[in-house]
Structure 1
Amino acid sequence: MAKGKPLIVALNRLFMDYAPIEQSISIDESMIPYFGRHGCKQFIRGKPIRFGFKSWVMATRLGYCLQFNLYQGRLGNDKQDCGLGESVVYNFADVLQTHFENLKFSLFLDNFFTSVKLLTTLGERRICGTGTVRVNRTGNCNLPNDQYYKKTERGSYNHKIDEANNILAVRWKDNSIVTLLSNEYRIKPLQSAARYFAKEKKKVYIPQPNVVSMYNKYMGGVNQFDNNIATYRISMRRKNGTCQSLCGCSTPQ
Structure 2
Amino acid sequence: MVAYKGKTAGNLRQYIKTKPDKWGFKLFSRASADGFIHDMVLYQGKTTLEGHGVPLTPEQQAMGATSQIVSVLASTMSSPSTTAMFADNFFTSLELLRYLRDQNCRYTGTSSDNRIGKPPLKSIKEMEKKAVPRGTCDYIMSDDGILAVRWKDNITVSLLSTDMGVEPMSSVIRYCSETKTKEPVSCPDVTRPYNANMGGLIRVTCWSTSYRTPMKSKRWYMRMFAYVIDVSRRTARPLV
Tell me the TM-score normalised to structure 2 length: 0.81
Cα deviation per residue 1:167-215 (whole Å; 9 max; x = unaligned)? 1000111111110000010101111110011221100000011111111
3-state SS of 1:86 partner: helix
Partner of residue 230, structure 2: none
Partner of residue 108, structure 1: 86
3-state SS of 2:26 partner: strand
Partner of residue 139, structure 1: 117
Matches within 5 A, 1:138-157: 138-151=116-129, 152-157=132-137
Cα deviation per residue 1:61-89 (whole Å; 9 max; x = unaligned)? 11001011111113324543111111111
Contact map agreement 1:56 1:71 (CA 8 A) in 2: yes
3-state SS of 1:222 partner: helix
Partner of residue 51, structure 1: 23
- Cα distance in 1 for partners of 2:193, 2:152 equals 16
1:216 aligns with 2:195: yes
Comparing 58-67 with 36-45, greater Cα deviation is found at 36-45
- Cα distance in 1 for partners of 2:114, 2:66 equals 15
3-state SS of 1:210 partner: coil
- Cα distance in 1 for partners of 2:124, 2:106 equals 28
- Cα distance in 2 for partners of 1:76, 1:42 equals 13
Q: Which one-letter code corresponds to 2:47 in the other structure?
A: L
3-state SS of 1:144 partner: coil
Partner of residue 190, structure 1: 169
Residue from 200, 207, 218 that aligns with 1:228: 207
Contact map agreement 2:29 2:73 (CA 8 A) in 1: no
Deviation at 1:159, TM superposition (A): 0.5
Contact map agreement 1:128 1:183 (CA 8 A) in 2: yes
Partner of residue 168, structure 1: 147
- Cα distance in 2 for partners of 1:222, 1:209 equals 24
Residue from 156, 162, 171 that aligns with 1:177: 156
Partner of residue 104, structure 2: 126
- Cα distance in 2 for partners of 1:176, 1:48 equals 24
Partner of residue 23, structure 1: none
Partner of residue 32, structure 2: 60
- Cα distance in 2 for partners of 1:74, 1:205 equals 47
Unaligned runs of 5+ in 1: 1-30, 247-253
% same residue: 34
Unaligned runs of 5+ in 2: 50-55, 227-240
Q: Which one-letter code corresponds to 1:48 in the other structure?
A: P
Tell me the TM-score normalised to structure 1 length: 0.77
Contact map agreement 1:74 1:84 (CA 8 A) in 2: no
Partner of residue 32, structure 1: 2
3-state SS of 1:89 partner: helix
Residue from 66, 80, 85 that aligns with 2:66: 85
Deviation at 1:160, TM superposition (A): 0.9
1:69 aligns with 2:49: no
Q: Specify whether residues 40 and 158 from structure 1 end up closer, same or farther in structure 2 by C-alpha distance, changes over 3 A only.
A: same
Structure richer in strand, relative to its length = 1
Structure richer in helix, relative to its length = 2
Partner of residue 14, structure 1: none
Structure exhibiting the larger radius of gyration computed from Cα positions: 1
